[in-house]
Amino acid sequence: MSYVVGIDTGGTYTDAVLLDTEIQGADCIKRKAKAITTHEQLEIGIRNSIVSLGLSKSDISKIEKVVLSTTLATNATVEGKIGRIGLLMIGGVPVGKLATNECIAVEGKVNIKGRIIRDIDKEEVKRAVKKLLPRVESFAVSGQASVRNPILEQRVKAVIKSICDLPVVCGHELVSELGYLERTNTAVVNAGLLPIIDNFVKAIKTILDEQKIGAPVFVVKGDGTIAKIDAIRNTPIDTVLSGPAASIIGAINLTGIKNAVVADMGGTTTDIGIVRNKRVELSKDGAVVGDWQIRIRSAQLYTYGLGGDSAVKIDDGKIEIGPERLLPSCRGGKHNVTPTDVLHYTGEFVAWDRVNAVEAIREQAALAETTTDEYVEQVRDAIVDKIYNNLKRFRRIKFPISAIGAPAESWYRIAQKKYNFNLVVPEHYEVANAVGAATSGVSVEIEAVIRLGEDRGGYLVHAVNERFEFDELEDALQKGVDVTKEYAVRLIREQNLEISYIRYECRNMYLDDDRIMYKELIVKEDGTVISEEDSDYGKYLETQIKVLVGGKIFANA
């Protein structure tokens, strides 16, 4: 028998669960606990949630891993509390707003085919670094078309490393698609999160040492997969939106259903995502976090301002719900009314001070010049109307609604009675986020692209860290798969994990009478590409390569 501890830091609560890895579904939960999230120091709430599990020495000896989902990176980005970043741009300045004011453009250019048009001037780079150095905590490097050939970014990074010991992040290390502005801001935000996540990692390790938990620690990424906590130190931006992703995974595992619209109602917001064939539907464009469009693998989410702690106010005679978050009166807020206070008034959910909640609602009802009971009914209607109006955008999908999160069971049941939609509220819905963290899998996905060479001569492989040239497409295909597989496997190995699976997706793109056509290519288990005659498909445009590698813990980890 082995256990996993899953921990989720939400806007209101930090949840912890102890799961038995040999049991499927809701019965896997051996224990669960909640603690108030301590926003200024998340580790305090995490410590309290672990302590509340009441783990024995026997329990601790059976823990295989600890998995966290955290709002830290998301909140720091939204609130603009990332570190001071120096940005070096190669080949021009992106069009649009940059995520740092400490930026300098240096000479250098590669074209869209990845050929070096102008090399960097190392002395110019050194001068730029020394100018920025007194004002920054980390560096980001981004160059035009660097995903076609990252060599100039790598050379600038080497110059920075020769001058100082500050962390350096390159755009090509995080993003494989074109889009200079988005790639640049992704690198900048990631660099700004490095000192924040480093302090968090140190604090988590201290907490687990205190609790005598020696199991490996993982963090949920925005796409619902997990990575070793030390790997996240280099790419903290991967954890943006990790909380909602964990919630969706939790709903999948607790309900067992293949397809669902998952609504996670927290303290401040409701996040809605889609599950198709038991897989999280991912965003094609990354994620918008605060003011920035960042290119990361993340769940496709729709978020709106409604949670258990949303402010209930009267504005111009109308009841307004959210998006502001308040401390409920039942938990010590002064004269605040929230959805949680309403449930305390009606008796549908009572966990704290009902007297304070009733008093706050009476005060607000008097301002509305109505009776308290009538006012509560109006507020209830406003809340469930907001729930249903936001669910209506998913009505064409025709999947059941799976509601999770602490306030979800009460409010979605009330909404269902009024609007009669297909609703699934799983057992342990209130800790689904932590369950998702505990049950997420380790995997990486790496991409490469092959395109025609300049003047349509030969083929260019644009891989993560290098560009290759070949005369024959067959050779380019094999190289593309090999280097992509090698890089993905290395990322898993660096986390002290063994490979659990390798999957390949490879397809050619053609233009045929103004239509885009695709041909799927067969890749054998050992990575060998089977090439076939393709002259009937039209004009060759490119080959898209994707390698997915899963990892699992070594028996002695």
pLDDT at 555 over 70: no
pLDDT at 226 over 80: yes
CA–CA separation, 58 and 70 (whole Å): 27
pLDDT at 554 over 60: no
Residue 317 corresponds to which tokens in the numbers above?
């005679």
CA–CA separation, 366 and 368 (whole Å): 5
> For the whole model, what pTM was predicted?
0.79
Which pLDDT does position 557 carry in this prediction? 37
**Of the candidates 165, 164, 166, 185, the residue with the CA atom closest to the CA atom of residue 174:** 185
Helix (H) or strand (E) holding 360: helix 354-367
Which pLDDT does position 533 carry in this prediction? 63
CA–CA separation, 182 and 191 (whole Å): 14
Contacts of 84 (CB under 8 A, 6+ apart): 100, 102, 135, 136, 137, 138, 192
Q: Give the mean pLDDT of 167-186.
A: 91
Residue 35 corresponds to which tokens in the numbers above?
């603690």
CB 55 within 8 A of CB 18: yes
CA–CA separation, 466 and 446 (whole Å): 13
- pLDDT single digits (tens) 249-300: 888 888 888 899 999 998 888 889 999 888 888 888 777 777 788 888 888 8
Which pLDDT does position 112 carry in this prediction? 87
The more confidently predicted of residues 278 and 505 is 505
Which pLDDT does position 82 carry in this prediction? 87
pLDDT at 426 over 80: yes
- pLDDT single digits (tens) 70-99: 877 887 887 788 889 999 999 999 999 999
pLDDT at 461 over 80: yes
- pLDDT single digits (tens) 91-150: 999 999 999 999 999 999 999 888 899 999 999 999 999 999 999 999 999 999 998 999
**Of the candidates 534, 532, 533, 493, the residue with the CA atom closest to the CA atom of residue 511:** 534
Q: Whose structure tokens read 């993905």?
A: 488
Instruction: Name the pairing type of β-strands 270-276 and 279-280.
Output: antiparallel
**Of the candidates 283, 95, 77, the residue with the CA atom closest to the CA atom of residue 186:** 77
The more confidently predicted of residues 361 and 322 is 361
Average per-residue pLDDT in the chain? 89
pLDDT at 323 over 90: no
Q: Give the mean pLDDT of 370-385.
A: 95
* Stretch among 145-159, 192-206, 365-379 having the lowest mean pLDDT: 192-206
